[in-house]
Amino acid sequence: MENNAFLVSIVVPCFDEADNIQPLIDRIQDVLSPYQHEIILVNDGSKDATQQAIESVAATYKSISYLSFSRNFGHQTAIKAGIDYAKGDCIVTMDADLQHPPETIINMLEFWGQGFEVITAIRIDDANLPWFKKWSSKGFYWLLSLISDENVTPQGADFRLFDKKIAAVIRNMPENNIYLRGLFSWIGYKQTTLKYKEEKRFFGSTKYSTKKMLKLASNGITSFSIKPLRIALAIGVMFAFLAFGYGVYAIIVMVLGLTVSGWASIVAAIVFLSGLQLMVLGVMGEYIGKLYLENKKRPHYLISKTNINGTSPQLDSYKQERRAAVF
């Protein structure tokens, strides 16, 4: 395909990335200058000078636009907002910290030219990755594949290119608590993966606190599966049978006059069963909470400042109202 026959949109979520903006833009420009492109920087409620850095690069390049959230809405929502506003024939989502080498985009474009609609970049296992990050990520994907129906690509990190057709599908997803890795696996279409070597974060440290990571993990599990509820039910049924059996046993030993004082066994049973009940209730609460939050139908994000004229062109007015409120 001719380089100028299509427009590439690059969507970058930025949270406290002030020092990374300029180097990132330089790298992207180096790689993408032969292509028609736009870059959408989404400032996810940064507390540092990210907004100034963004406005400064936007003043230099007219291909750069930005959306600035009224507060921190999270990485996944920031990507979603960028997709809502992207006008490209294909859209790339990537991190702001240069861990995702822009050169990989060229390889992704080749696959797209061959007709693939979603191209997900997969990190080659890096020996330098912190021990905790590596194993927590491995453990999470193992758990996810065990208890959910989706086959989420491990080592994927929201570094992907997809066709505008897919962008339209994602835009019209009504859910508020979005989990993109699961969603991309759920939608189907013609997908492929390619490997990339993750670079070191350019400036600063990770913006994914343990709390944010746990939230993402819980969202990943509950967004795509009700298996935990079924597992809870299965455990409940199993223990009901056990309890019934134990009841029968208790009656028999009582009739036979074999009862002994069984304080320890009673306490153990109560503690164990009540712990189990609380766990099951917790799982249910997680889903009910999710229903509650989705039902409020609040906009997915609030934009306090942008240099994009008008609202997202691709959303109809009702969805527009729900998806993004701009003040």
- Give per-residue burial for 98-129: e unless 16+ CB within 10 Å, then b: bbbbbebbeebbebbeeebbbbbbbbeeeeee
DSSP strands (E only) in 76-190: 90-93, 118-123, 156-163
Asked if residue 96 binds ligand UDP (CB under 6 A), the reply is yes
Is 94 in contact with 190 (CB distance < 8 Å)?
no
Tokens of 181: 């890795």
Q: How far is the CB of 159 from ligand UDP (least distance, A)?
A: 10
Is 306 in contact with 68 (CB distance < 8 Å)?
yes
Residue 78 binds which entry of ligand UDP, Mg ion, none, CB below 5-8 Å type-dependent: ligand UDP
Q: How far is the CB of 82 from ligand UDP (least distance, A)?
A: 10
Report the residue from 9, 99, 137, 191 that binds Mg ion according to the rule CB under 5 A.
99
Is 220 in contact with 182 (CB distance < 8 Å)?
yes
Residue 14 binds which entry of Mg ion, ligand UDP, none, CB below 5-8 Å type-dependent: ligand UDP
**Which range, of 48-56, 92-100, 280-288, 315-323, touches Mg ion by CB under 5 A?**
92-100
Tell me which amino acid residue 310 is.
G
Residue 60 binds which entry of ligand UDP, Mg ion, none, CB below 5-8 Å type-dependent: none
Q: How far is the CB of 57 from Mg ion (least distance, A)?
A: 19
Asked if residue 99 binds ligand UDP (CB under 6 A), the reply is yes
| # residues near Mg ion by CB under 5 A | 3
Q: How far is the CB of 266 from ligand UDP (least distance, A)?
A: 48
Distance CA 179, CA 185 (A): 10
Report the residue from 17, 97, 158, 163 that binds Mg ion according to the rule CB under 5 A.
97
Cβ within 8 Å of residue 134, ≥6 positions away: 125
Asked if residue 75 binds ligand UDP (CB under 6 A), the reply is yes
Residue 72 binds which entry of ligand UDP, Mg ion, none, CB below 5-8 Å type-dependent: ligand UDP
**Which range, of 94-102, 125-133, 138-146, 301-309, touches Mg ion by CB under 5 A?**
94-102
Q: How far is the CB of 132 from ligand UDP (least distance, A)?
A: 11
Cβ within 8 Å of residue 267, ≥6 positions away: none
Asked if residue 202 binds ligand UDP (CB under 6 A), the reply is no
Residue 17 binds which entry of ligand UDP, Mg ion, none, CB below 5-8 Å type-dependent: ligand UDP
What percent of the residues of the chain are helix, what percent strand, and what percent coil, each to the nearest 5? 50, 15, 35
Tell me which amino acid residue 154 is.
P
Look at residues 126, 127, 157 and name the one whose alpha carbon lies nearest to residue 140: 157
Report the residue from 37, 123, 164, 207 that binds ligand UDP according to the rule CB under 6 A.
207
Distance CA 116, CA 191 (A): 6
Tell me which amino acid residue 171 is.
R
Asked if residue 97 binds ligand UDP (CB under 6 A), the reply is yes
Report the residue from 60, 151, 206, 274 that binds ligand UDP according to the rule CB under 6 A.
206
Distance CA 127, CA 24 (A): 24
Beta bridge partners of 303: 69, 326
Closer CB to ligand UDP, residue 121 or residue 232?
121
Burial of 59 (0-12, 13-18, 19+ CB in 10 A): exposed
Residues of this chain, 7-46, that bind ligand UDP according to CB under 6 A: 13-15, 17, 44
Question: Which residues contribute to the site for ligand UDP (CB under 6 A)?
Answer: 13-15, 17, 44, 72, 74-75, 78, 95-97, 99, 206-208, 212
Question: Which residues contribute to the site for Mg ion (CB under 5 A)?
Answer: 95, 97, 99
